[in-house]
Structure 1
């Protein structure tokens, strides 16, 4: 049901549906195509990247012990082309908008990568009984053993067995606390965005932005309306038209002050929400910090 995630983002391993394989159908800031682990065994990069790589290597080793193949998955950037995730309030990076518009080009590339993902191809090649076994091996037999109550009141659960849980336990030791901390703190991100968008200061700042957009020939009341127009499923705009709208949005975000207001509110609500869940916030930081030497050792040992 839920996934156990590396620090800062969800992992690649997940059962999205019975038809999908052992890999990235990430809703949250994507994972990318898989390659044999030997191509990526290095501890360079951020602490988050080091922890994620170590987790992937541990999952790979565990799956092979169960008689299945597994390719270490790569990350393809912060958002996989999802502009709503990269710019939840307003597109404010003019260079990015000029190159990618709202990211439809990157999203299409991502879809192609997923289609050729070796974990996906391998999973689809397995007979039905082996598919069931592979999913059980990676995710555990049933979503029991780990649970967390989100700030929204929703209860999320996951198996405390399987290769994902085994890898997380090896890195973070206190698996129950890590599961609860990551689930709760990750859920705060969605709450934060909603609070910013509903804040009267943000809504007021969209007025000057909208007037700026009208001056450039675009009649949209909010950045969300502009993005929806260019990215509606089945009715995506030609790239040039998409780029022109996104570039206008970014330019107006700066000149109208909307980008600055959004940044200020985001920081304000981020701090406020973290204070509202001090235990989980502290646990996540502590467990990740303590796991980092173990992660480096895993990478060195398997490199």
Structure 2
């Protein structure tokens, strides 16, 4: 038997404005949760931060990012197509439904924690810990060699052989196996590499802006007055250990958010971050337009599959 994780193989400065029109105009899809997958939805992140210092903040690049509900839908549509493909070869394939381990933020911008912890209510209860920590990953699934070959298009768990085509009982196996076929049909493989790189670059570069550096310095000085020597809010929780929040951790987290509020750090940082992203979008507009079109096509396919 081959032990394999299904997840591993499938898988201008100013006040913040409304979410970009590009996201609003995406094809609407009913969230496809899969059997038993609805239980975690109550812990899914809000489309726009709805509490704390990040409330209402949306970055320009989020227009091009896959949201968590969209990711769940695309994954589950792909799972269903994979199961249908496996059935053609006589195999009963039951993937783990997506949506059970939601992240804290709706997309890769990670706005609710982008500049460190920003919600006073969460800080006062959970410290730097997440209010809804991810659950345990699903146990690895076991496949026979034949199942693995049809699922992945590989004869074994080693590197894929270029151009090699396999068959099972006289039937050709799709390129990349049933997983590959499902990804192509569903549009699950939406390439977010460029978007995520630009997103990281703007966060990194924003920290070098004079106004942001001054605001971080003011935050650090505020923390010093509260008894904490920390140079950057992005590392404030690094030395906090333990599986559950402790009293000292909560005290530091509360001071952290309070200092962000009194120094205006979040608004200054957000404005610099957003301005850099607008420049990035101008510089990479053709490539980003292709990313958006690819995502829209995938969502249209998902809408047809779930409709």
TM-score (norm 2): 0.63
Contact 1:102 1:246 in 2 (8 A): yes
Structure 1: runs of 5+ lacking an equivalent: 1-17, 28-34, 146-158
| Higher alpha-carbon Rg | 2
Partner of 1:22: 6
- 1:136 paired with 2:152, answer yes
Distance in 2, Cα, partners of 1:79 & 1:26: 22
How many angstroms does 1:188 deviate by?
1.5
Of the three residues 202, 215, 218, the one matched with 1:208 is 218
Contact 1:192 1:270 in 2 (8 A): yes
Distance in 2, Cα, partners of 1:89 & 1:193: 9
- 1:261 paired with 2:279, answer no
Of the three residues 181, 185, 200, the one matched with 1:166 is 181
- 1:282 paired with 2:289, answer yes
Q: Deviations over 1:113-159 (max 9, x none)?
A: 22xx2xx34x1x445x46854772599973979xxxxxxxxxxxxx9
CA RMSD of aligned residues (A): 4.1
Contact 2:129 2:244 in 1 (8 A): no
Of the three residues 223, 226, 229, the one matched with 1:219 is 229
Report 1 or 2 for greater relative contact order, CA contacts < 8 Å, sequence distance ≥ 6: 2
Q: Which has the higher helix share?
A: 1
CA distance 1:26–1:59, shift in 2 (3 Å): closer
Aligned length: 239
Q: Deviations over 1:238-280 (max 9, x none)?
A: 5322222111111111111111111111211221222221122
Of the three residues 296, 300, 303, the one matched with 1:293 is 300
Of the three residues 86, 89, 92, the one matched with 2:118 is 92
Partner of 2:208: 198
TM-score (norm 1): 0.63
Question: SS at 1:230's partner residue?
Answer: coil
Q: Deviations over 1:25-61 (max 9, x none)?
A: 999xxxxxxx853755x9xx97842464144223333
